[in-house]
C-alpha cells in the first residue's frame, strides 16, 4: 500500500502531504456552506405554504391532578404551544420554553383532575391553530420512581431474566451426555428459538418506534440498531478469534456461548423495557401468571447459551457470569422502561437485540451442519421448527 502511494506521489502532487489533499475539499465545502448561509440561500426564496407543525408525544406521566407530557417538535418549523385541551376542555398548564425549535423537547404539565381508568385525549393547540393529539387509553397514576419501585423492577427482572435463564442452563449436564447427532438437533432448536426472538424484537421495535418522534428516525432506528449490534458483535468475534489464533473447539464454543449470552442479554434489555414501560402505564398485571410465562419462555434461552459449550464445559464461575450477562439486562431494561421510557431509544435497543441475535445465529450455524456440511437437513429443520413452536406457544402467555 505504502509502496504504491510512494511510487505515484512524485508524478501527481509533489510533496503535499496526503492529509492536506483530504482536507481541501472539506474546507471548501465548509466555506461554500458558510457563504450560502451568510447570503441567506440566494435564489431560493421563501418556502410556499403555511408552517409545517408536527409534535411527537414521547412520555406521559400522570400524577393526581396533573398530566405531564414530554413533547418533541418533530417538524421542520418552530412551534409555539398556545393552549391545551383535555377531553374537549381547555385546561391550565405550565410549559418550559414556549417556542420549540426543530427536535427540541419540552414538558407540558397540565392541571387536570383526571379519573383513574378513564380515557383521555389531549390536544395541544399551537399559535397557528394547528392541533396535535395524544391518546391516554387508560389513565393510571405513574409509579413514583423511589427505592421500593426500583426494588420491585429489579425483582421482576430477576424473576423473568436471571432465574429462568440460569435454570435453563442446568441442561448442561444433559447436553454433555447426548449423541453429537442429537446435539446438532438441539443447536437447531436454539437457532429456531433465536430466530423467533429476532422477529419478535423487530416487530416490537417497529411498533414502539411508531409511538414517538419520527424525525429522530422512527422505525429506521430498529434496523440501525440491528445493524450496529450485528457489526459490533462481528467485530468482537473477529477480535476474539484473532487473539486466540485458530481456536480449537472448546475455546470457540466458549466465545460462541459468550456471544449468545450477550445477544440474549440485549434481547432481554428490550424485554425489560417492555415490561417496565407497560408497568408504568398500568397496562401490566404483575401476576404470577406473567412471571410463570416469562420463566417458561426464557428458560429456553438458557439452553441456547449452554448448547455451544457442551463438549468442554467452562467452570461454575463462568457459567454464572454467562447467566448474568444474558439475564441481568432485564433488570436494567425494566428500570429504564418504567422511569425514563423513550420510544426512539427503545426502538434502537430492540433493533440491537435483533441484530445481535442474527449475528449469533450465524455463529451457531456451523454446529448445526451435518457430516455432509448441510445446514438444512431434516433433523435441523425439525429442530428449528420445534424452537419456533416452543417460543410461539410460551409467548402467548406473556403478551405485554
Least distance in Å: CB of 137 to other proteins? 21
Q: Which is nearer to other proteins, 123 or 362 (CB)?
A: 123
Least distance in Å: CB of 218 to other proteins? 23
> Which parts of this chain interact with other proteins (CB under 8 A)?
65, 80, 82-85, 88-93, 111-113, 123, 125-131
Please answer whether residues 353 and 295 qualify as being in contact, where contact means their C-beta atoms are separated by less than 8 angstroms.
no
Closest CA to 348 of 156, 212, 162: 212
DSSP output for 88-152: SSEE-EEESSSEE-TT-EEEEEEE----TT--EEEEEEETTS-EEEEEESS--PPPP-SHHHHHH
What is the SS3 string spanning 139-153?
A: CCCCCCCCHHHHHHH
Closest CA to 217 of 345, 94, 102, 92: 345
Provide the H-helix boundaries in 281-377.
Answer: 288-306, 316-327, 329-339, 343-368
Least distance in Å: CB of 104 to other proteins? 18
Least distance in Å: CB of 82 to other proteins? 3
285 backbone φψ class: left, alpha, beta (φ>0; ψ -120 to 50): beta
How many CB atoms are closer than 10 A to CB 259?
Answer: 23
Q: Where does residue 89 rank: exposed (0-12), middle (13-18), buried (19+ CB within 10 A)?
A: exposed
The gap from C-alpha 252 to its chain's centroid, in whole angstroms, comes to 27
Q: Which is nearer to other proteins, 92 or 141 (CB)?
A: 92
Rounded to whole angstroms, the Cα distance separating 24 from 30 reads: 10
Q: Which is nearer to other proteins, 14 or 64 (CB)?
A: 64
Least distance in Å: CB of 114 to other proteins? 10
Rounded to whole angstroms, the Cα distance separating 206 from 211 reads: 9
Q: Which is nearer to other proteins, 55 or 296 (CB)?
A: 55
Three-state DSSP class for 16? coil
Q: Which is nearer to other proteins, 91 or 199 (CB)?
A: 91
Using CA atoms, how far residue 27 sits from 15, 33, 276, in Å, is 20, 10, 48
Least distance in Å: CB of 87 to other proteins? 8
The gap from C-alpha 189 to its chain's centroid, in whole angstroms, comes to 24
Q: Which residues of 218-252 are buried (b: 16+ CB within 10 A; e: fewer)?
A: bbebbbbbbeebbeebeeebeebeeeeeebeeebb
Least distance in Å: CB of 361 to other proteins? 48
Least distance in Å: CB of 111 to other proteins? 6
Q: Which is nearer to other proteins, 79 or 260 (CB)?
A: 79
Least distance in Å: CB of 64 to other proteins? 11
Q: Which is nearer to other proteins, 65 or 151 (CB)?
A: 65
Q: Which is nearer to other proteins, 13 or 131 (CB)?
A: 131
Least distance in Å: CB of 144 to other proteins? 21
Enter the C-alpha cell of residue 333. Answer: 431494561
Amino acid at each position: 500500500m505504502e509502496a504504491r502511494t510512494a511510487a505515484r506521489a512524485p508524478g501527481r502532487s509533489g510533496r503535499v502531504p496526503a492529509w492536506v489533499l483530504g482536507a481541501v475539499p472539506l474546507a471548501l465545502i465548509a466555506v461554500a456552506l458558510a457563504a450560502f448561509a451568510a447570503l441567506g440561500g440566494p435564489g431560493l426564496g421563501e418556502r410556499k405554504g403555511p408552517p409545517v407543525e408536527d409534535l411527537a408525544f414521547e412520555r406521559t406521566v400522570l400524577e393526581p391532578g396533573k398530566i405531564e407530557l414530554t413533547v418533541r417538535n418533530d417538524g421542520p418549523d418552530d412551534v409555539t404551544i398556545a393552549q391545551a385541551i383535555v377531553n374537549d376542555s381547555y385546561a391550565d398548564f405550565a410549559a418550559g420554553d414556549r417556542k420549540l425549535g426543530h427536535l427540541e423537547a419540552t414538558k407540558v404539565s397540565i392541571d387536570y383532575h383526571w379519573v383513574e381508568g378513564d380515557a383521555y385525549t389531549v390536544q395541544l393547540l399551537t399559535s397557528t391553530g394547528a392541533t396535535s393529539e395524544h391518546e391516554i387509553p387508560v389513565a393510571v397514576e405513574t409509579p413514583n420512581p423511589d427505592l421500593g419501585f426500583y426494588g420491585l423492577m429489579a425483582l421482576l427482572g430477576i424473576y423473568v431474566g436471571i432465574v429462568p435463564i440460569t435454570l435453563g442452563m442446568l441442561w448442561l449436564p444433559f447436553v454433555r451426555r447426548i449423541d453429537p447427532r442429537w446435539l446438532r438437533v438441539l443447536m437447531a432448536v436454539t437457532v429456531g428459538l433465536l430466530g423467533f426472538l429476532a422477529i419478535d424484537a423487530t416487530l416490537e421495535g417497529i411498533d414502539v418506534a411508531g409511538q414517538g418522534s419520527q424525525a429522530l428516525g422512527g422505525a429506521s432506528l430498529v434496523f440501525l440498531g440491528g445493524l450496529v449490534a450485528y457489526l459490533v458483535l462481528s467485530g468482537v468475534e473477529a477480535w476474539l478469534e484473532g487473539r486466540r489464533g485458530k481456536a480449537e473447539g472448546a475455546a470457540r464454543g466458549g466465545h460462541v456461548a459468550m456471544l449468545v449470552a450477550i445477544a440474549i442479554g440485549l434481547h432481554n434489555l428490550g424485554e425489560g423495557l417492555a415490561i417496565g414501560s407497560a408497568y408504568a402505564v398500568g397496562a401490566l398485571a404483575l401476576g404470577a401468571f406473567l412471571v410463570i410465562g416469562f420463566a417458561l419462555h426464557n428458560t429456553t434461552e438458557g439452553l441456547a447459551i449452554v448448547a455451544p459449550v457442551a463438549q468442554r464445559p467452562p467452570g461454575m464461575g463462568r457459567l454464572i457470569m454467562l447467566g448474568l450477562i444474558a439475564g441481568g439486562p432485564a433488570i436494567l431494561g425494566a428500570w429504564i422502561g418504567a422511569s425514563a421510557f423513550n420510544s426512539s431509544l427503545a426502538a434502537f435497543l430492540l433493533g440491537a437485540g435483533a441484530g445481535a441475535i442474527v449475528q449469533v445465529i450465524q455463529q451457531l450455524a456451523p454446529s448445526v451442519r451435518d457430516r455432509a456440511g448441510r445446514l438444512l437437513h431434516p433433523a435441523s429443520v425439525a429442530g428449528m421448527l420445534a424452537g419456533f413452536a416452543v417460543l410461539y406457544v410460551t409467548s402467548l402467555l406473556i403478551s405485554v
